[in-house]
Amino acid sequence: MNIPKKLRKKHYRIWYELLCESQRIFAKEASLTLGVDQRTASARLKESREEQYIVGPEIRKMSYSNFPEHVYFLDCDDPDLLYQKYREDENIIFHALMYGFANLWVISKEKIDIEGDIIVEGLRSDYYVAFAPNHSWDDAIQIIRKKIQDFDPKEYEPKGYIKTHFGDTVEWSETDKILYRYFKDDLRKPFAPVMDEYEICTYTLYKWLERLPECCTIATFYYPETLREYEPYLFLFETDYEDFIIDLFSELPSSSWFFKVSDKLFLYARVPKKYIRGDDPQTEPSELNIPLLANKLLEKGIIRRRARGPIETYWVKDL
């Protein structure tokens, strides 16, 4: 049966919303919300993940002191050489080549001596992953503009979106490590392989899933035009109104996530090219939406500094 693309995308969106609420929801249960049979519901989820309308659900450790992640943004003379070098370093769990305010982004399990000029350095906070609203990019830009225009610093109230646990530890056994590695990039993986290989019983696995929100951020990502249609950008903000900035850019319809290093707020977003640099090479920088929004924030004193950089390539260790 040939299902119209518009209806398929509607089903993908519904699946995203369901997975945000319950990461391991069964297709039979989801079929009631989708208004289709169980087989069709299962097929829609498979399509949405294979084509990367939906990515995840994934899990990432929170910022407890027994999960330290030391983050460095660097300006290096030869970032390509360091990028290759750090692929072999077991302490480095993530690193990326980028442009803009830094040319190398490094995350390490331990504090390290690092080559290059350090732009930003510190422990990573918890991640905050925004729920992607169901509206267009053009609508999102208009909403953000109005929020900036209407902002009154006297009415600002912190909401505490981003949390840290630097002074605390959390129980984390060898079994926890095994299950984390297995489910890290896909919390919907089948139970049997990891249970059989490591002789983990059903009770232990379900108890781990039950306490997972206490020690890990759980996130499902949504990309209305599929992941490949967006470019990864990292934005840096210095501000006294970080929760307002998070509220603003949570209006973007492709999933965005936020974290802090030192006193800097970072936004990692997947952005259509035209909203950063424009499809037309003659487009003036002042006409580009997201840079223009950042300029407005600076003009109104909502931020003290802003910077951005596209991510060229990155490497994640399977740890």
Q: Which of 51, 69, 89 is the last residue of a domain?
A: 51
23 and 158 in a single domain? The answer is no
Q: Is residue 284 part of a domain?
A: yes
Judge whether 282 lies within some domain.
yes
Query: Domain check: are 10 and 157 in the same one?
Result: no
Tell me which of 15, 31, 51 is where a domain ends. 51
Q: What is the pTM of this model?
A: 0.90
Domain assignment of residue 288, yes or no: yes
Does a structural domain hold residue 115? no
**Domain limits at 138?**
128-163+225-311
DSSP 155: G
Query: Is 153 among the domain residues?
Result: yes
Statement to judge: residues 158 and 243 lie in one domain: yes
Structural domain count of the chain? 2
CA distances from 107 to 72, 102, 124, 265, 282 (A): 6, 14, 9, 16, 37
Find out whether 101 and 119 touch, Cβ atoms under 8 Å: yes
What DSSP letter does each residue of 236-276 carry, written as one string?
EEEES-HHHHHHHHTTSSS-EEEEEETTEEEEEEEE-GGGT
Residue 229, in any domain of the structure: yes
The stretches of the chain forming alpha helices (DSSP H) are 5-21, 27-34, 38-50, 79-86, 137-150, 174-183, 192-198, 202-215, 242-249, 289-299
Asked if residue 16 is part of any domain, the answer here is yes
Q: Are residues 149 and 14 in the same domain?
A: no
Same domain, 143 and 41: no
Q: Is residue 246 part of a domain?
A: yes
pLDDT tens for the 319 residues of the chain, in order: 567 778 889 999 999 999 999 999 999 999 999 999 999 999 999 999 999 999 999 999 999 999 999 999 999 988 888 888 888 888 899 999 998 899 999 999 989 888 889 999 999 999 999 999 999 988 998 999 999 999 999 999 999 999 999 989 999 999 999 999 999 999 999 999 999 999 999 999 999 999 999 999 999 999 999 999 898 999 999 999 999 999 999 999 999 999 999 999 999 999 887 666 554 444 433 334 777 888 899 999 999 999 988 888 888 876 5
